Structure 1
Amino acid sequence: MSNLNLHHLRLFRAVAREGNLTDAARSLNISQSAVSTQIRTLEAALGHDLFDRVGRTLQLTEAGRIALDHADEIFRAADHLTATLNRAEGQRRVLRIGALATLSRNFQMRFLEPLLGRDDVEVVLRSGTQESLLRRLEALSLDVVLTNLVPARDAGSPYLVRRLDEQPVSLVGTPARRSGGGVEQLLAENPLILPTPETALRAGFDAMVDRMGIVPRIAAEGDDMAMLRLLARADVGLAVIPPIVVKGELESGILVELERLTGITEVFFAVTMRRRFPNPLIKDVLP
């Protein structure tokens, strides 16, 4: 490790940023062969390959991703050194979390609770589609993906899927929509705000109303729980959602939980991958 120095790390960061030796060498104003030699020296010092060649580009290996995290931290500390000689800088670790864009924000906040307020932790949040988040997970740019959709798995699947929570689903609306009737009367008499048909929650709801012989009157559909919450607040109709989505509104009385829909739940999962160097913060948020 005596051969490891800031010069090696600076070259390594340039290659990681540019994705190839030619552009990295140009940005550093040195020869490509010099960059290549120094990267090999760094890999020898660390005992791991830092890049995989994919076509004409260089992509970080898992060890490379970890090395980049530490390199970034080293250079941040160097940047702060002259201004902070009178106090010690605490080491900050980074956890990169991806969440399905339609996932309940309240659930995400509850997942993050063990890390909130910690001076040694930086949380990076990304949202997107299931497909894009899983690609980022495989590319090592995310540590964990939060979703309510189980990814397709087979014997060769790289994903580790952990069930985090299961939330009930209810009919939620403004207090004015209270009635003395039960679930069937509420469904028959009120316009409904529903998740889109491709969701697991909607599939369960459609099966339930089919058994009851009810043709629902749909006022709105959406794949974003935050939008369903806003539509319910605007009294567009009764929303079919987990109460956790509208926790604040229920506590304040803006919305009320009218009836629990028996047999329908929303299940939340954490998706990770088996890695040689797992992020140590994962154990703080996963049971």
Structure 2
Amino acid sequence: MSLLNYTHLRAFRAVAAEGNLTRAAEKLGVAQSAVSTQIRALEARLGHPLFERRGRTMALTEAGRIAFDCAERAFAAGDELVETLAGRAGARQVVRVGALATLSRNFQLNFLRPLVQDPEVSVVLRSGSIGELLAELEALRLDVVLTNAPPRHDASTTWSERRIDDQPVGLVGHPHRIPEGAGLADLLEAAPLVLPAEGSALRADFDRLVAREGLSPRIAAEADDMAMLRLLVREDAGLGLVPPIVVQDELSSGLLVEALPLPDLHEAFWAITLPRRFPNPALARVLPRD
């Protein structure tokens, strides 16, 4: 079997980085036709198209994204060899993860721990809105998107989601706010609440619960960011409606305690992926099988 031609690989890497044949040729100091020829030769060698044209832009295909990651590692290894004979880093697998900006950091870390602790895996984390993350997923710049609500589907949807966890939810707070043996009505009478913002599934479920019980809670604060909810409860703004995983460190230390579990309320966590011909093998270690 013939080996890869690294001149072809260097031309491919330049086009992938620049997104344009002309700029890549200028960067390499060769004719544009030479770059085109080298790309075609590499595609023929690999047996897959590496780019698709979008106007004047050369966008990576799925095979192209994998080839680009491999090319980056190959050239990085070459640089290490030149710079120091002691460099033995080896090839590292890259996993690109997008997470909703408001998602619990504790959940993200727990989910990704097997990958983060693996010296052969490099985890790239990005946060943003669900729209931004899905666009990155469809552009093959992310391998998976983590969120706490499945996004809406339409006729153009190409991704799929799977539920990866389901956390019970309760009221948590500082011990002095929690009368012994208190029920929901007693707790809402004794302390204000820190709640997820309106519009979230968890908030809607809680509002239905208190309406059904005929209760009118005092709301000290609302936030759509789990990290902010955690800080507000830590600062004793009131009892917080959160999954225990959000405040797991505070519960373990005794700073906060669970006032009352609410068995009818749950926070679901979802992983969104694209069906891919070349799925990232590292994801199989953290994602449940379909």
Q: What TM-score do you get using the length of structure 2 for normalisation?
A: 0.95
- Tell me the number of residue pairs that the alignment of Structure 1 and Structure 2 aligns: 287
Q: Distance in 2 between matches of 1:5 and 1:191?
A: 67
**1:183-219 superposed Cα distances (whole Å, 9 cap, x missing partner):** 1221233211111111111111111111111222111
> Does structure 2 retain, via aligned residues, the 8 Å contact 1:174–1:235?
yes
In structure 1, the residue matched to 2:202 is 201
Partner-residue secondary structure (3-state), 2:34 = helix
In structure 2, the residue matched to 1:186 is 187
Q: CA deviation at 1:4?
A: 2.6
In structure 2, the residue matched to 1:270 is 271
Which residue type is aligned with residue 35 of structure 2? V
> Does structure 2 retain, via aligned residues, the 8 Å contact 1:166–1:268?
yes
Partner-residue secondary structure (3-state), 1:286 = coil
In structure 2, the residue matched to 1:123 is 123
Change (3 A) 1:83 1:14: closer
In structure 2, the residue matched to 1:249 is 250
Q: CA deviation at 1:169?
A: 0.7
Which residue type is aligned with residue 103 of structure 1? L
Q: Distance in 2 between matches of 1:78 and 1:120?
A: 18
Q: Distance in 2 between matches of 1:194 and 1:67?
A: 46
Q: Does structure 1 residue 239 correspond to structure 2 residue 247?
A: no
Partner-residue secondary structure (3-state), 1:81 = helix
Q: CA deviation at 1:155?
A: 6.3
Which residue type is aligned with residue 43 of structure 2? E
In structure 2, the residue matched to 1:45 is 45
Which residue type is aligned with residue 208 of structure 1? L
**1:51-94 superposed Cα distances (whole Å, 9 cap, x missing partner):** 11112211100000000010001001101113454564432111
Q: Distance in 2 between matches of 1:257 and 1:117?
A: 30
Q: Distance in 1 between matches of 2:125 and 2:75?
A: 22
After TM superposition, the structure 1 = structure 2 runs for residues 153-164 of structure 1, keeping only pairs within 5 Å, are 153-154=153-154, 157-164=157-164
Q: CA deviation at 1:154?
A: 4.8
Sequence identity (%)? 60
Farther off after superposition, 82-91 or 231-240: 82-91
Partner-residue secondary structure (3-state), 2:272 = strand
Q: CA deviation at 1:35?
A: 1.1
Q: Distance in 1 between matches of 2:90 and 2:74?
A: 12
Q: CA deviation at 1:138?
A: 0.6
Q: Distance in 1 between matches of 2:83 and 2:34?
A: 33
In structure 2, the residue matched to 1:98 is 98
Partner-residue secondary structure (3-state), 1:45 = helix
Gaps of 5+ in 1: none
> Does structure 1 retain, via aligned residues, the 8 Å contact 2:81–2:87?
no
In structure 2, the residue matched to 1:261 is 262
Q: CA deviation at 1:157?
A: 2.8
> Does structure 2 retain, via aligned residues, the 8 Å contact 1:201–1:266?
yes
Give the superposed CA RMSD.
1.5
Partner-residue secondary structure (3-state), 2:199 = coil
In structure 1, the residue matched to 2:134 is 134
Which residue type is aligned with residue 170 of structure 1? G
Q: Distance in 1 between matches of 2:187 and 2:263?
A: 14
Q: Distance in 2 between matches of 1:246 and 1:38?
A: 54
Q: Distance in 2 between matches of 1:108 and 1:148?
A: 11
In structure 2, the residue matched to 1:219 is 220
Q: CA deviation at 1:33?
A: 1.3
Q: What TM-score do you get using the length of structure 1 for normalisation?
A: 0.95
Q: Distance in 2 between matches of 1:12 and 1:101?
A: 33
Q: CA deviation at 1:137?
A: 0.7
Q: Does structure 1 residue 167 correspond to structure 2 residue 164?
A: no
Q: Does structure 1 residue 75 correspond to structure 2 residue 75?
A: yes
Partner-residue secondary structure (3-state), 2:135 = helix
Partner-residue secondary structure (3-state), 1:230 = helix
Partner-residue secondary structure (3-state), 2:221 = strand
Q: Distance in 1 between matches of 2:63 and 2:47?
A: 10
Farther off after superposition, 165-174 or 76-85: 76-85
Instruction: Show structure 1 runs of 4+ deviating over 6 A.
Output: none
> Does structure 1 retain, via aligned residues, the 8 Å contact 2:177–2:190?
no
Farther off after superposition, 76-85 or 141-150: 76-85
